[in-house]
Amino acid sequence: MPNYSARIIITLKNGVLDPQGKASAGALSGLGFEGVESVRQGKVMDVELSTSDEATARADLSAMCEKLLANTVIEDFEITALTERQMA
């Protein structure tokens, strides 16, 4: 079966307060970076999987996000850089 890799980017939905991002923004201002209006903190996950084809890989990754990797009440997810890996 082909082997795929993908990058999943999980971000907080607009309007969800992000105290950690806010603290980082405050620290950046403290370091003298003027003009920082906001920082939003998220997660990046690199997943490798073997499956029949790219469409199945995308559907599987989406289901993984819905069921576990993201909490869709507060988070959005995006599947990026889905590519077939050439095995040596």
From candidates 1, 5, 11, 23, binder to other proteins by CB under 8 A: 23
Q: Regarding beta strands 43-50 and 75-85, do their DSSP bridges make them parallel or antiparallel, or are they unpaired? A: unpaired
Q: Is 35 in the site for other proteins (CB under 8 A)?
A: no
Q: Residue 81, Cβ neighbours under 10 Å: how many? A: 10
69 binds other proteins (CB under 8 A): yes
* Residue choice 1, 55, 73, 87 for contact with other proteins (CB under 8 A): 73
CA distance 7 to 40: 18
Q: What angle do CA 46, 51, 52 make, to 5 degrees?
A: 140
Counting every residue written for the chain, the total comes to 88
Closest approach of Cβ 23 to other proteins, in Å?
Answer: 6
Supply the minimum distance, in Å, between the C-beta of residue 59 and other proteins: 20
Binding footprint of other proteins on the chain (CB under 8 A)? 16-17, 19-20, 23, 68-69, 71, 73-74
